[in-house]
Every structure is written in C-alpha cells, then in structure tokens.
Chains A and B, each alone.
Chain A
C-alpha cells in the first residue's frame, strides 16, 4: 500500500462511523485469483454488495472487480459499510495472486474500524525480493517474478547509478518464477566520487530490466522499518535499503575520518 493510499485511508476512517452492533459480519472477505470478491457469512444473506470509489464517488454493484479504476474502494452491504472479521491478509495469498501476469492488482483489506475496503493499483512485472544477503563483499538476492511471465536461463543483477557512473552487474539466474543474483560491491564503491551515491537494482534479461522491490505484504514505509547490514570498502559504507516505493536500492556513503 503506498503512502498516498495510507493517507486516503485515514481520511476515510475519520469520516466513517464505527459499524453498529448487531450488524452481520463477514467471516471471509478476500479477492480471488480471478479478481472476484469472495465474501462468506456465518449464515446465508441476501442483498447486493456496493463498491464506492473514495476519490470520485463512483459506485458499482456486484463482486466482479474486473476493470475497477485505481484507488481505494469501500464496500457496503445493505447500505452499511461491510463489517468483517477477516484480517484480510495472507502472505502466501499475495504471492499466489502475483503468479498471474497482470497489469492491475486488487487487494482486500480490513480498515482499523473493522470494515472491508479494496485497493486497486496499476502494476508492472518486477522481482519481489524474498531474501537478501549483505556480507563478504557481495549483495546476494533471492526473489520471485511478480505479475509477469516466468523466465528460464541466465540473467544479470544490475545496479544503475542515479547519477554518473556506468551500471555494474553480476551473474543471475531465472528458473521459472525464481530469481537469484549476486553483485560485487567493490566495483560500485570504486567509482565513488561524491559523499553519497545511490544505485537502483534490477534483474536484467535479454535487454529488459525488471525492478527489484518488496511489495507483496502489508508493510508500508519499509525505508524506515527494514535495516540491512552495511559493508565497508575502504572508506565507503555500502548499505542496501528500500526506497519510498519499496524498491531495492543501495546507498554508498563515504565515511568521515574518525579521530
């Protein structure tokens, strides 16, 4: 969920009333692999589901979510916000959903008031980072392809400086959805001329670059929540980090002489 979405949510929650007691609560409320909203109740209920786009007020009936415009949608049932006991979140579910190539991602979630909402956003294929090692002079990454077709064969792990030096790369391999790649940090550090430099990481195959990122969870603002180990090449400290968009990058900083 982006920071912008987070802000929107807070404003929805401020406007919504807490669901009245006695309202029937969904046991399950999730988006399936075919972008259909699956809602299960303790006992059968009737009445239509209505989706409302927070930004524009556009309303839509039903649970087929194909073609929903990006943004946050609230869900109501019989003119009440739909209350749910489903935390609406499964790490494995998000990974499975991302196995299908798509250009739009729809997620169900439970607001802090206990009501159901959806986020819809445009997506492009990328590599979801599942593990990272930052030791012994290398950065080693394991990941899986999200929202794209599987790939077989050798590839490279490429670091692209935001300013200045040419990209540097290391060996990588795709096996279906799985990706693994290794990057030496010394070639990046060698080019360091400014005090700080930032490099964005990509998986590259046949001239196509897929960004590396960590988005298949509910953790916002990873930049401040995830800290990777730093390594040193002479005076240069090399530390991977997540950017504002949860993409993977590397920060190189020349350390001041300590007396």
Chain B
C-alpha cells in the first residue's frame, strides 16, 4: 500500500514532526511510505527518519533556492502575496503564501497514492478540497478540538465531512468530532502517538532533577512552572529544574527565572536531539501546559522510568496518567498545587520508585508497533 504523509515542515523539531516520522518509519517496514513537507528551510531534517521513507518538499525556503522554469516568475510574484486558501486563523498561517497555495493545490490534484494522511487543520481542509476522490483521506488532529478559532472551525465543520476519516489523539476529541460530524460518513478513530522502538536509557531516580520539555511558548505554561519551582526550592534547595526547548518567549522566561532568583536551580538547556537521554538523567518530568493535545513527552518520560507531575489540563495528560499510579495530576492553572505535587513526588522516594516502575509498564501500551496495527486496521476499513 502506498501511504503519503503531508506535513507543514518536516525539517524543524516538534511533537507532530517526531510522531509523523516515527509512524512513517514503522509503516515503511510493510508499506511504501513518503513524507511530503510543504516547506523546507534546511538541507536535512533535524529529527531521524527511517531510510525506507522518501522525503520531499514542495516549497524550498533555503537561501538561494530557485523555482524551476516555467514557474520562476510566478513563484516570485505569488510568494509576496498572502495565502487565500488557508484560513488566517490556522496557527501556521504566516508560513503560507499564494505561492504555497498554488503548489499545494497542484500537488494534491496530481498526487497518486492509496492513503493520504494530513497532519494539521489547514492541510486537512486542503486534502478535503483537492485530493483525488479515490485516495483515502485521513486527517490527523494533533491539536485538541477546542483549540481551533471560530473562523477556521467553520471551515473544519464544512470540509471535514468530505474526508474519509479523522484520527484524534484523545477519546475526548473523538467524542467532540463525532458530535460535530453529526452523522456524516466520515469515521473517527482515537489513535495516540506511538513510541518508536528500540531500547531506552533508564532513570535511576538518583539525580535531584525535574525536567520539562517543549517549545518555549505561552501554552506550555512555563511561567507557572517557574513560580511553582520557586516554592519547591524554598523547601528543597538542592533540587534542579532543567527546561529543554526554544521559542519566542525564552527571553521573558529567563527574566522571570532571574526575578524569582532561580539561577542556582533552573537551567534553560536549549533544544536537544536526545530527549530520552536527558529524561533518563532526571527523576521527575513536569508538565505545566495550559492544554496538551496529547503529551508525547509524558509517554517518553514513562518509557525512561520517569514519573510525571502534570496539570490536569485538557486533554492528553488525564488519558495517559493514572494519578497516584504512574504520576500525579494536579488541578490546572493552580501554581500552589503544582508546587505541592512536585514536593510530594520529591519527598516520597519510595512512592517515586514505585511510580517509575509503573510508568515503564504504561509506556508499553504506546509501543509504535501496537499503534501501527491500529492504523492498519483503520486502513482496512477505509480502503475501497
């Protein structure tokens, strides 16, 4: 079976890219798999992709990149104009242009494949509008249902019923999409992200390190994590917090950490290509997100034997973490509760070891081979 993934930019780093690469790599053992990246800004992808997966891009943003004749002039002209096909409320709207509209539409009209899996709202809508009818179109939603603005939501409501299937990360999202589809023939499946195979380093629970990871953007709630950690440090000054990732509010967060006098305890580690190696050095993973579409790092932490303290935010954490068993869920938006949860985990060493062992077991349920089996089951139901 030929399977094509369409992704915004395969060359950056982030949860969606990693999940897509891992899925594509595992599927390539039995299928002909390609990843189509709308944009390309560097020569090679940052994250690893299996050698059997073909990767190609549609719009080359690299310096000196030229669009081939006869499109050269058109690309220059349209590249300056805003996108008319992508809704301005699509979170990645700024990346698109009238030129990417043109290229994307041409690609979708000409693409020959058995299954097309698109990975974000703007691309899902494009697939619903332009993909050939005999291709099975599957829209993956990495964002939670309520994260969409009203304008783009109207487009989602209009176009998603034309898709063959929607794959959500959580059961809560599956329910919401079923309600929205209101009897349309489009199927809805919940399939979480899978954990790519291979052995992992394992935490010994020996370093007094709490780890957080993810883009430094407001939704990750690092401002609240820093405030909570300031409370932790007052009680347990020998504990450290390491925050991995980069992003547009990094300056603001560094300033907040300085203001809270956390310089001896908090380090902004920057991006890493080996989050598992870093997780295994830590003893606790903290999730302070305002919402978390799924929470891949929670599963990665589990797989390294690291229990998680998380806000009980919508939607992923509560479907993955069993509070008291493999982690601790605390009321969302509550800094004191987050501090309390961290201190509880820090002080209960025996409980932490027990939860670390349980976490390893939970991670097994997300093994990529089990996740791919669920995808293949959906293909079997959908392929005409």
Contact = CB atoms under 8 A, between A and B. Distances in A.
The answer to whether A and B interact is: yes
Interface of A: 21, 25, 83-87, 89-93, 110, 112, 114, 130-132, 134-135, 218-219, 224-230
A224 B250 CA distance: 12
A100 B258 CA distance: 34
A89 B270 CA distance: 19
B210 interface: no
Contacts of B261: 135, 229
A132 B264 contact: yes
Nearest to A129: B264
Contacts of A89: 207, 281
B263 A227 contact: yes
Interface residues of B, number: 28
Given A25-B199, A227-B254, A229-B261, A90 B269 contact: no
A85 B207 contact: no
Given A85-B202, A110-B201, A112-B274, A226 B263 contact: yes
A110 B199 contact: no
Contact of B281 (A25, A84, A87, A92): A87
Contacts of B338: none
A228 B258 contact: yes
B146 to A, nearest CB: 35
A64 B93 CA distance: 59
The 8 nearest A-B residue pairs measured at CB: A112-B274, A87-B280, A87-B281, A87-B201, A131-B264, A89-B281, A85-B202, A228-B263
Contacts of A224: 270
Given A21-B198, A91-B209, A132 B263 contact: yes
Contacts of B240: 91
B263 A85 contact: no
A67 to B, nearest CB: 29
Contacts of B331: none
A25 B267 CA distance: 31
B263 A229 contact: yes
Contacts of B375: none
A238 to B, nearest CB: 14
Interface string B197-220: 011111110111100000000000
B63 to A, nearest CB: 23
Interface centre among A87, A218, A229 (most CB of B within 10 A): A87
B70 interface: no
B177 to A, nearest CB: 37
A25 B270 CA distance: 29
A225 B268 contact: yes
B51 to A, nearest CB: 11
Interface string B166-209: 00000000000000000000000000000000111111101111
B273 interface: yes
Contacts of A114: 198-199, 201, 277
Given A83-B199, A112-B273, A132-B264, A218 B254 contact: no
A196 B90 CA distance: 46
